[in-house]
């Protein structure tokens, strides 16, 4: 463990403190899809992620960073700087229930009365570049090119075949808003998304060389289906034969060693509806270990492509003036194609070849299930799809130009909605502006981190500030050191989330008045943002 910590620290590049800058900084925002909290080395993982580790350890690891429990609601908050219900993603477009259909806030795409970060930065003189997963609308008017990105290559849906064999059928790709009918023969998602962004970064006419850029790189890895190049999978062969229970404990130990997790934190007991690793048959263990090998290969490949982008910026001389934000869009995905996901993915599973030797190929369609997912979300409770910490506490860091390097990790609560106002303030663009791109837009509600980046003792959300959330009927409200949580079963639980981040001790009977106070606060929040509870739970891994 000490050797691991020393090796990671050796990657660190010191950065000066945040201060006033003569030049507007560049911004690179990188999103990984369904990446687990402890999947990268700097957060306790064993997967080879040297490029992400180097960036994370040169900046600030955000151990208290929170997202929505699934992808498109998070992406709406990231780009708009406000609650997902206000932005139009009160639920995912694919999950809109009959009682939510045609209701405000449940459009299933990014509303026109919110401005994107790209639109705001464009008005501030920035070049705006996008490559990857969009998942915020399917029509030409909802394309990233129509929402402020001057250059864009986009997968419009929430998922796809990573080798691109579904182009024109279940997956829609656009460039500059125009639909593509084919992809290169050697297409692989992480490679191509990074390559297109690198191309866009290099397209700089002489008259634009002085302009800063905002680049948004949205990987679809490691979202299912788990697919990777065979050589990448081979690098992890045999690595996970001990199983997900052992991996979970190893990840917890590493988090403590690296200062990510306090020694006294009690981890939540995993919910293994299919049993422990030892309860699986030998064939089940063999298949499950292979699934995790594929997953690790996808994360490894993602990291190498991040390295390609960073080296491009270094070669162009832009890296020293670039602020980098990295995040996962939610907690790890627990869906299992053989159990919880069999009905949901039935059409996609039809005709798939999931034989052991074919797993990870373009004709396979596998996921890795709750055991591996909860190894990645530990010490938190549950996984993607829930308003528990396991569904919403995501791996994230901020690094680069002017961002201070801090030892350990900062555990204060931060929201994905804070990213937009933070970058705008760093750019010198007023986040309070409500006239953007020729239209009146809703105000940003997220909070800038600039004061905290200058002073680690500063608080973004004070003891009296509340923060509400909802998705798929799972609800939460946080104020100070207390968090109210309902994981979709209709039962409110109260936690001291600072001392008990694993959400292991329900304080409802001990603090009934505090519980009722926060329930009332959540009800006010729900009324303010227009929450419409689904008439049936549309998704629960």
Q: Which residues are catalytic?
A: 71, 135
493-496: strand order across its sheet: 466-471, 474-479, 482-486, 493-496
Alpha-carbon torsion, ordered 451, 329, 218, 255, to 10 deg: 80
Q: Which of 469, 470, 467 is nearest to 479 (CA)?
A: 467
Q: What tokens were used for 425? A: 């303030």
d(CA 389, CA 377): 8
B/e letters for 348-380, b = 16+ CB within 10 Å, e = fewer, are: bbeebebeeeebbbbebbbbbbbbbbbbbbbbb
CA 484 to chain centre: 22
Q: What tokens were used for 337? A: 């194609």
Q: Which of 137, 125, 227, 212 is nearest to 174 (CA)?
A: 137
User: Is the peptide bond between 225 and the residue preceding it cis, with omega within 30 degrees of 0?
Assistant: yes
Q: Which of 510, 476, 502 is nearest to 83 (CA)?
A: 476
d(CA 313, CA 319): 5
């Amino acid at each position: 463990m000490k050797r691991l910590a020393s090796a990671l620290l050796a990657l660190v590049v010191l950065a000066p403190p945040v201060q006033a800058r003569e030049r507007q900084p560049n911004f690179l925002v990188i999103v990984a899809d369904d990446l687990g909290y402890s999947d990268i080395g700097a957060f306790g993982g064993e997967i080879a992620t040297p490029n992400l580790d180097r960036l994370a350890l040169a900046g600030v690891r955000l151990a208290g960073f929170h997202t929505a429990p699934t992808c498109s609601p998070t992406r709406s908050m990231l780009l708009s700087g406000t609650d997902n219900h206000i932005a139009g993603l009160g639920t995912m477009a694919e999950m809109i229930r009959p009682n939510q259909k045609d209701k405000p806030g449940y459009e299933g795409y990014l509303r026109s009365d919110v401005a994107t970060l790209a639109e705001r930065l464009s008005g501030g003189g920035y070049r705006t570049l996008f490559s990857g997963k969009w998942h915020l609308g399917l029509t030409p008017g909802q394309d990233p090119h129509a929402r402020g990105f001057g250059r864009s290559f986009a997968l419009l849906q929430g998922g796809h075949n990573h080798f691109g064999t579904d182009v024109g059928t279940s997956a829609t790709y656009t460039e500059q808003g125009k639909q593509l009918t084919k992809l290169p023969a050697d297409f692989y998602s992480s490679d191509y998304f990074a390559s297109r962004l690198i191309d866009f970064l290099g397209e700089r006419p002489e008259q634009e060389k002085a302009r800063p850029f905002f680049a948004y790189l949205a990987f679809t890895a490691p979202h299912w289906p788990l697919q990777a190049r065979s050589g990448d999978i081979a690098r992890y062969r045999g690595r996970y034969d001990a199983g997900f229970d052992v991996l979970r404990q190893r990840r917890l130990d590493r988090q403590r060693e690296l200062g990510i997790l306090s020694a006294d934190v009690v981890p939540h007991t995993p919910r293994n509806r299919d049993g422990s690793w030892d309860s699986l048959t030998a064939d089940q263990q063999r298949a499950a270990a292979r699934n995790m090998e594929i997953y690790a290969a996808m994360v490894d490949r993602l990291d190498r492509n991040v390295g390609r982008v960073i080296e491009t910026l270094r070669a162009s001389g832009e890296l020293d003036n670039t602020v980098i934000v990295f995040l996962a869009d939610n907690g790890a995905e627990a869906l299992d194609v053989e159990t919880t996901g069999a009905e949901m993915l039935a059409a996609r599973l039809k005709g798939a070849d999931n034989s052991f030797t074919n797993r990870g190929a373009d004709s396979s369609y596998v996921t890795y299930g709750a055991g591996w997912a909860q190894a990645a979300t530990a010490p938190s409770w549950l996984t993607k799809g829930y308003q528990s910490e396991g569904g919403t506490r995501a791996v994230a860091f901020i690094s680069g130009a002017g961002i201070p390097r801090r030892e350990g990790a900062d555990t204060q609560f931060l929201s994905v909605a804070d990213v937009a106002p933070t970058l705008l303030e760093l750019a010198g663009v007023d986040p309070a502006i409500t006239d953007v791109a020729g239209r009146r837009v809703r105000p940003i509600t997220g909070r800038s981190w600039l004061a905290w980046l200058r002073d680690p003792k500063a608080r973004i959300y004070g003891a009296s500030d509340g923060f509400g959330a909802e998705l798929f009927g799972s609800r939460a409200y946080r104020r100070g050191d207390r968090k109210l949580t309902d994981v979709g079963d209709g039962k409110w639980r109260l936690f001291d989330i600072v001392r008990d981040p694993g959400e292991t001790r329900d304080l409802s009977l001990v603090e009934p008045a505090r519980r009722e106070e926060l329930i009332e606060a959540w009800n006010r929040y729900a009324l303010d943002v227009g929450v419409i509870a689904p008439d049936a739970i549309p998704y629960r891994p």
